[in-house]
Structure 1
Amino acid sequence: MRAGNTRARLVAAAVLAALALGTAACAEDTGGDPGSETGAGGMKTGLKIAFLPKQVNNPYFTTSDNGGKAAVEEFKGVYSETGPSEASPSAQVSYINTLSQQNTDVIVVSANDKDAICGALNEARTAGAKVVTFDSDTNPSCRDLFINQATAEGIAQNQVKLIAEAVGPDGGEIAILSATANATNQNAWIELMKAELAQPEYAKLKLVDTVYGDDQDQKSFTETQALLAKHPNLKGIISPTTVGVAAAARYLSGSTYKGKVQLTGLGTPNQMRAFVKDGTVKAFALWNPADLGYLAAYAGGALSSGLITGKEGDRFKAGKLGEFTVGKDATVLLGDPYTFNASNIDQFDF
């Protein structure tokens, strides 16, 4: 009996030891750093990703940032949005500083000025944050990646082509209603539009003015009114900004200029649907801003997870959008601009 008891005690001790080791192993597996776990696309989970648009409560950025939120939720990160109510470079600086102090892993920002926020962004990067610009870039030295909605050349060519088609073969005077005077993307597009207008096929179009609505609805509305008063022979307006094109369309639709002065630009289907259907606007263009934000979030997650460094040739998966490759100057291209008109606008809801 003693030998049996001894063996029983030894077996029991071995079982208890095995159970203890198993419990310890389980505790070790579940009690580690949450960031060591991986979510969609191989991302670390728990990454804090903040979107800083040019201005909050702008329909375009609401859509793009919501796309970012969907992506962050897919790879189990922590999403936030913050930013100024007006498109101001100085205001963006204070938000960047706050995000840095909060140990944000990724700052996704659309720059109101390519240089004004560089100091704050580089301080945030020194503190450990990855910086992804989207929609409007900074100086490349201030960020890790730029998510380009479309090439500047593609946008410029598209906008000039649309206004030429709308105005017709006789051409005439046209003007540009832009966002802020310092907006990186707007200025690049405008310069390329000028180059495009110099092509022989557009010889009958004459750019007579460029004005700025500062991405404010009422100012853009007023600038449209002033343009038409200043240039009574104006035949067309290009407004490559979602706030500006919608404000200009609203003014034209209720004026004697409706149908006489053509308008195109960059807008969302939900903003522009009524103006396309009532004949104020024949066609306009954009990309899907939700996809732009979605891609920016995945790019930031890939950077912060160490899956890519931002060098040319790096590849990463962006959920439903598929695989993307980092190009020259640490730029990732979403795709080409898409033209909306009466034949297709009801197919889209954003």
Structure 2
Amino acid sequence: MSVRTAPAHRVVAAVAVAGLVALGAAACGGTTKNSTDNAGSGGGPKPSASANPGAPTKKGLTVAYLPKQVNNPYFTISDTGGKKAVEALGEKYKEVGTSSGTDTAGQVSYVNTLTQQRVNAIAVSAQDPGAMCTALNQARRGGVKVVTYDSDTNAGCRDVFVSQASSEDLGRTEVQLMAQQIGGKGQIAILSAAQTATNQNTWIGFMKDELKKPQYKDIQLVKVAYGNDDAQTSFQQTQGLLQQYPNLKGIISPTTVGIKAAAQYLSGSKYKGKVQLTGLGTPNDMRAYVTNGTVKAFELWDPAKLGALAGYTAVALASGQISGAPGQTYTAGDLGTFTIGADSVVVLGKPTVFDKSNIGQFDF
């Protein structure tokens, strides 16, 4: 996947797509609580600086994936990428999880079960940053390596967080894309996931900080709306924003459910081509809206690569090649070599910008 940092945009005239159709749930909605409760946030094993990067990769390890929501198209892609990576290393892969994206208690129950089953590693996309800490740290004390991917827990509750891209890159580039599309002037809104979604709120924080720069003095953020990563709710929130702010020039939706719902509404409305839309989406979800001119450009990472990197990281931890301490490096197959950063975070890479010129090259 090639990464573009400066897209070229053209509005393409095409027929409108009318009506709301069924939307599949997708991810990057984030965790469901910006927890201020530190109970259980620490107390887990601290990353040791000692590791043997030359240690052989152990075979027959079991790596369990626990996404925020099973049968979710986004996590189907990411976990399939993880499965391929794990099995290519000679390990055993399994996936467990709830059918709801907000069932934190269900995630905790699965962690406890996996601990009892004595899996070697868990790769989890956390619905809540703090609620899983007690269960995860109990797993870690029992020798289970814990990798978070897509959505993190509190840092003291896992060994490594595999981040899709830096939060700052994601937040700032969303504003940059929108500014280009509206000519640096006008009212904009943000359509987020849940009001307490931690990664959404982090990205929005960087959006607001970016908007403080002098070049955005003529752009006004009028509202942050919440679609709760539900297709119907996000569609209705889009409609409400346009009714409440008739001069709205653009919407940023940093969630794949939200951006698709917003695109569906705009595509069948009088606002198509007049109100710009960007955010985080998958090429397959957004291709029709780029083709018909509803959306000029949006961005995302490759979820299959994210899942694969989580798998490589989990196996490296379970093999003793890394411990999760900052500064350690390891190889993740054909993804290349990665260095663990501050707070034991590994970053997949820069987000990819998709527009009419390149969207046909991607299939996910």
Counterpart among 73, 82, 85 of residue 68 in structure 1: 82
Distance 2:223 2:240 in 1: 11
Counterpart among 244, 247, 254 of residue 230 in structure 1: 244
Deviation per residue, 1:193-236 (Å, 9 max, x gap): 10001111111111111122222222222221222222222111
Matches of residues 37-48 of structure 1 in structure 2 within 5 Å? 42-48=56-62
Matched, 1:101 2:100: no
Q: Which residue of 2 aligns with 1:247?
A: 261
Compute the displacement of 1:59 (Å). Answer: 1.8
Supply the AA of the counterpart residue of 2:111. I
Q: Which residue of 1 aligns with 2:99?
A: 85
Distance 1:127 1:57 in 2: 29
Counterpart among 182, 190, 193 of residue 179 in structure 1: 193
Q: Which residue of 2 aligns with 1:215?
A: 229
Matched, 1:140 2:126: no
Compute the displacement of 1:131 (Å). Answer: 0.8
Q: Which residue of 2 aligns with 1:117?
A: 132
Q: Which residue of 1 aligns with 2:69?
A: 55
Compute the displacement of 1:181 (Å). Answer: 2.3
Compute the displacement of 1:57 (Å). Answer: 2.2
Bigger Cα Rg: 1
Supply the AA of the counterpart residue of 2:289. F
Bigger Cα displacement from structure 2, 131-140 vs 76-85 = 76-85
Q: Which residue of 2 aligns with 1:286?
A: 300
Q: Secondary structure at 2:129's aligned position in 1?
A: coil
Compute the displacement of 1:136 (Å). Answer: 1.3
Q: Secondary structure at 1:272's aligned position in 2?
A: helix
Alpha carbons of 1:97 and 1:226: their partners in 2 closer, same or farther (altered >3 Å)?
A: farther
Distance 2:109 2:277 in 1: 36
Compute the displacement of 1:310 (Å). Answer: 0.6
Compute the displacement of 1:68 (Å). Answer: 0.4
Distance 1:332 1:194 in 2: 25
Counterpart among 310, 314, 327 of residue 328 in structure 2: 314
Supply the AA of the counterpart residue of 2:297. A
Counterpart among 344, 350, 363 of residue 336 in structure 1: 350
Preserved CA contact (<8 Å) 1:112 1:184:
no
Count matched residues: 309
Distance 1:208 1:319 in 2: 45
Q: Secondary structure at 1:236's aligned position in 2?
A: strand
Supply the AA of the counterpart residue of 1:280. T
Q: Secondary structure at 2:134's aligned position in 1?
A: helix
Distance 2:114 2:225 in 1: 33
Compute the displacement of 1:180 (Å). Answer: 2.0
Aligned-residue sequence identity (percent) comes to 59
RMSD over aligned Cα atoms: 1.4
Preserved CA contact (<8 Å) 1:111 1:184:
no
Q: Which residue of 1 aligns with 2:182?
A: 167
Q: Secondary structure at 1:51's aligned position in 2?
A: strand
Q: Which residue of 2 aligns with 1:33?
A: none
Alpha carbons of 1:50 and 1:85: their partners in 2 closer, same or farther (altered >3 Å)?
A: same
Compute the displacement of 1:115 (Å). Answer: 1.3
Distance 2:116 2:197 in 1: 26
Distance 1:207 1:61 in 2: 31
Distance 1:53 1:232 in 2: 39
Compute the displacement of 1:96 (Å). Answer: 1.6
Compute the displacement of 1:311 (Å). Answer: 0.7
Q: Which has the higher helix share?
A: 1
Supply the AA of the counterpart residue of 1:295. L
Compute the displacement of 1:162 (Å). Answer: 0.7
Matched, 1:194 2:180: no
Compute the displacement of 1:343 (Å). Answer: 0.5
Gaps in structure 1 of 5+ consecutive residues: 1-40
Distance 1:299 1:277 in 2: 37
Compute the displacement of 1:148 (Å). Answer: 1.2
Supply the AA of the counterpart residue of 2:215. E
Q: Secondary structure at 2:289's aligned position in 1?
A: helix
Distance 1:261 1:112 in 2: 32
Compute the displacement of 1:183 (Å). Answer: 2.2
Deviation per residue, 1:149-168 (Å, 9 max, x gap): 11111111110011111122
Q: Secondary structure at 2:188's aligned position in 1?
A: strand
Matched, 1:257 2:271: yes
Bigger Cα displacement from structure 2, 324-333 vs 179-188 = 179-188
Preserved CA contact (<8 Å) 1:138 1:184:
no
Q: Which residue of 2 aligns with 1:30?
A: none
Taking structure 1 as the reference length, the TM-score comes to 0.85
